[in-house]
Chain A
Amino acid sequence: MNDLSDQKNDQKEILSKLTQSFLRKIREVEASPGKKDNLKKEITDLIVKENF
């Protein structure tokens, strides 16, 4: 039971950290409007690297 809830918490932590790094990337992109961005690819790569 404890293992299961630890696993859930770990996963929530990963999801939360990933979300923060995506949001940072979005802020960078939004700070330079008009410039072509690679947001989708960068986010896809970040997700592929993580196991959750």
Chain B
Amino acid sequence: MFINSVTLENFRLFHDKHEIQFSANAAKPVTIIIAENGAGKTTLLNAVHWAFTGEFTKQFQNSGSVINKYALDEGKKSCSVEVEFSNEKKRYLLRRTFTHGSRDTDLTLHEYDSAGALEPIKSELVKIVIEQFIPKRLASWFFFDGEAIGQLHLNGDPKFRDEIRQTFGFSGLERLIKTLTDIDKDYRREENRLLENDELTDIENKLEKLEREQEDRQRQIVNLTQTISDADNKKSELSSRLSGYAQAEPIQAKRERAERMLKEAKIKRDQKQRLRNDYFTNVVPKTLLKDEINSLVNELNQKEEDQSLPEPFGTKLIEQIKYLQKCICGTRVSPGSKEEQCLDQMMEKAASGQLIQKIFSFRSEIGSYQKEAAEFSSRMDVLTSEIIDCENNIATQEQIINQANLDLSNIRNEEVIAIRKELAQAEDKIRDAEGERGYARSNFDAARLNIANLKARQDVILSQLKRTSHISKERGKVAKLINFVSDEFKRQEQEVLNALNSEISGVLLAYLTKNFTAQVDANTYAVKVFDIDGRLVPLSTGESNLLKFAVIAAIVGMAANRTKLTSVNWISEPIIAPLMFDAPFSVVDSEYRSGITQNLSELASQLIMMFDGDKWNDELATILRSKIGKMYVLVSKAAGLEKSIKKTVEIDGEVLSLNEYGERDETVIKEVHYD
């Protein structure tokens, strides 16, 4: 979707009618809007958000009347926002109107026909059509208030995960698999009813019970993940509040460092444990066969020594032909003749080549078995000692944390005591929820295995009974579809993760002096950052904001297939919409602004950036020069006598006024011709 223009009529600061056109030109997809604080940037962002969703962003709610106050004084009773947008060669006009005194807004949508005339879309379909272009719950991702970047949590917040997956169309695929599975279940039930087979009835009852349990566990896991994420956010907030107290600050710094190291050590220990378990499962059978393998090798050696290995087929025959000097086909084989040389070559091949090859590969395979079996104890010792090192490190960090807790408890400040108490509660909550989630996950996996086994048994029984072949045929088609959608889903999910990792890491490598790479967790979508040695690193606030912008740009760019490092072959249809950013740099350090601008302008299919006058500078102008299709200033007019305060912005050497004095408080939109 591309937005071509927005028309505001008596909407908040905008008295009367004002139109602004956004650049929808693929070569110049950027529109820049510059204004002073309070001049209407957030109002403009919210006008678009409201037109599509009927709601304002969190920061904008309850901030006065929607209808312009002068319009109300003039007896006008309504305000409206019109958005003209296009999607896949079709053009639409969306209009949302609010009338004073009414509870709801009026929404209409028209489609332009080929002659440019407006054709209304049935009122009952309007919301459905709009939802296809931009789902309500995702609108704040695309119409983004820069000041809200702090509320974006990359620590595995389930809301963030769900919204990413909806943007990429994953939720549709999940629902499709669930629906197909239900259809498959209905067919199985129908077959079972017709066949009246006791074992099938038993399997069906078991399956129903297990599937109900699965759904409950799935819900439980989702709820626990949400609890962990909420408690984790609370913990971060409390920790930073605690650091605000001079006495607590150094202890808290020590404690936070130990917590990070503890987390890192636990991850490392879990990796090592997995490695040891895999190694154990793989090598133990070889150690159990160690004696048999050794005796086989000895036997082989002995036979080689005795030259009693069986001769390969053919060598005896060739010897006989040479001895008789006559082949079985009647050809004469004289000593030294071409025929005899040919036989010698064949003999060489049969006798040495093949047999030696076989013995060689047998020896090498058995040798590697022997080697692994012999090294088993020492390798297990190494792996175990690495795990013990991790455990020791965990114990050390836990000790530091306990000591820090003790030191904190000695601070006799009521507020510190209260925060500490809350912090301990949050930590307990995380620990309990993690334990419960682990248990729920292992039950979930066990039940999944049971379900798969029962279904396999059900298939075997059904395939032996021919009476319901018409249902079996339909069920077969559904099974093919389930496999196809599941495989494509898995492939797409993996491609999305790979693309997210490389795009986000690309931004970090390009714009941070340190060599950091990002990794998105496959289950929670938590974004973790690692240093060059693969150690988990904490980010400063500035780096963390850069990371958040990189994540937003990667998501929008991937959905629009505009990424350069990697691409995704989509089966679902991701949401492609303009990225409208209000005050993107309100919380971003100046050193990262150019990088973020560069990245966003490359990845978004349409980008509308709204800056404060003092944030626009030559560096941004240089980066965006070739990409800007439209540029505006919002001029804030104040009622009353002219004052000496003049706010200006310099664009391409021209100084433009950002404030004026006039008959009323209002904002007017002025286009800047920018080449």
The reply on B175 being an interface residue by CB < 8 A is yes
The reply on B645 being an interface residue by CB < 8 A is no
- Contact across chains for B484 and A31 when beta carbons are under 8 A apart: no
Q: How far is the CA of A47 from the CA of B482 in the complex (A)?
A: 12
The one of A16, A27, A48 in contact with B172, judged by C-beta atoms closer than 8 angstroms, is A27
The reply on B183 being an interface residue by CB < 8 A is yes
Q: How far is the CA of A31 from the CA of B124 in the complex (A)?
A: 11
The reply on B197 being an interface residue by CB < 8 A is no
Q: How far is the CA of A16 from the CA of B481 in the complex (A)?
A: 9
**B164-184 with Cβ < 8 A to chain A:** 169, 171-173, 175-176, 179-180, 182-183
- Contact across chains for B481 and A15 when beta carbons are under 8 A apart: yes
- Contact across chains for A27 and B132 when beta carbons are under 8 A apart: yes
The reply on B16 being an interface residue by CB < 8 A is no
Q: Find chain A residues with CB under 8 A from B566 CB.
A: none
In the complex, what's the smallest C-beta–C-beta distance from A31 to chain B, in angstroms? 4
The reply on A5 being an interface residue by CB < 8 A is no
Residue of B nearest to A43 (CB): B179
- Contact across chains for A23 and B183 when beta carbons are under 8 A apart: no
The one of A15, A32, A47 in contact with B127, judged by C-beta atoms closer than 8 angstroms, is A32
- Contact across chains for B477 and A47 when beta carbons are under 8 A apart: yes
Q: How far is the CA of A4 from the CA of B180 in the complex (A)?
A: 27
**B462-518 with Cβ < 8 A to chain A:** 474, 477-478, 480-481, 484-485, 488
Instruction: Please judge, given known A-B contacts A26-B175, A39-B179, A47-B474, whether A15 and B169 are in contact too, CB under 8 Å.
Output: no
Q: Find chain B residues with CB under 8 A from A28 CB.
A: 128, 132
The reply on B571 being an interface residue by CB < 8 A is yes
Interface of A is mostly: helix
A-B contact count (CB 8 A): 66
Question: Count the B residues whose beta carbon is within 8 Å of the partner chain — how many?
Answer: 29
**B544-573 with Cβ < 8 A to chain A:** 571-573
Q: Find chain A residues with CB under 8 A from B172 CB.
A: 23, 26-27, 30
- Contact across chains for A19 and B182 when beta carbons are under 8 A apart: no
- Contact across chains for B179 and A30 when beta carbons are under 8 A apart: no
Question: Count the A residues whose beta carbon is within 8 Å of the partner chain — how many?
Answer: 22
In the complex, what's the smallest C-beta–C-beta distance from B234 to chain A, in angstroms? 30
- Contact across chains for B169 and A18 when beta carbons are under 8 A apart: no
Q: Find chain B residues with CB under 8 A from A39 CB.
A: 179
Q: Find chain A residues with CB under 8 A from B128 CB.
A: 28, 31-32
**B256-296 with Cβ < 8 A to chain A:** none
The one of A19, A30, A52 in contact with B477, judged by C-beta atoms closer than 8 angstroms, is A52
Instruction: Please judge, given known A-B contacts A47-B183, A47-B474, A52-B480, whether A19 and B176 are in contact too, CB under 8 Å.
Output: yes
**A1-52 with Cβ < 8 A to chain B:** 11-12, 15-16, 18-19, 22-23, 26-28, 30-32, 39-40, 43-44, 47-48, 50, 52
The one of A11, A22, A26, A40 in contact with B182, judged by C-beta atoms closer than 8 angstroms, is A40
Residue of A nearest to B572 (CB): A23
Instruction: Please judge, given known A-B contacts A39-B179, A40-B179, whether A19 and B488 are in contact too, CB under 8 Å.
Output: yes
The one of A12, A19, A47 in contact with B485, judged by C-beta atoms closer than 8 angstroms, is A19
The reply on B230 being an interface residue by CB < 8 A is no
Instruction: Please judge, given known A-B contacts A16-B571, A31-B132, A52-B480, whether A23 and B169 are in contact too, CB under 8 Å.
Output: yes
The one of A19, A23, A32, A48 in contact with B481, judged by C-beta atoms closer than 8 angstroms, is A19
Q: How far is the CA of A22 from the CA of B571 in the complex (A)?
A: 12
Q: How far is the CA of A19 from the CA of B173 in the complex (A)?
A: 9
Q: How far is the CA of A32 from the CA of B480 in the complex (A)?
A: 29
15 contacts between A and B (CB under 8 A): A12-B484, A15-B484, A19-B571, A22-B176, A23-B172, A23-B173, A26-B179, A27-B132, A27-B573, A28-B132, A30-B135, A31-B131, A39-B179, A40-B179, A48-B474
Q: Which 8 A-B pairs have the closest CB atoms?
A: A31-B131, A31-B128, A15-B484, A26-B172, A23-B172, A22-B176, A26-B175, A44-B183
Interface residues of B (CB under 8 A from A): 127-132, 135, 169, 171-173, 175-176, 179-180, 182-183, 186, 474, 477-478, 480-481, 484-485, 488, 571-573
Interface residues of A (CB under 8 A from B): 11-12, 15-16, 18-19, 22-23, 26-28, 30-32, 39-40, 43-44, 47-48, 50, 52
Given contacts A16-B484, A27-B131, A31-B127, 15 further A-B contacts (CB under 8 A): A15-B480, A15-B484, A16-B571, A18-B481, A22-B179, A23-B169, A23-B176, A26-B172, A26-B176, A40-B179, A40-B182, A43-B183, A47-B183, A47-B477, A47-B481
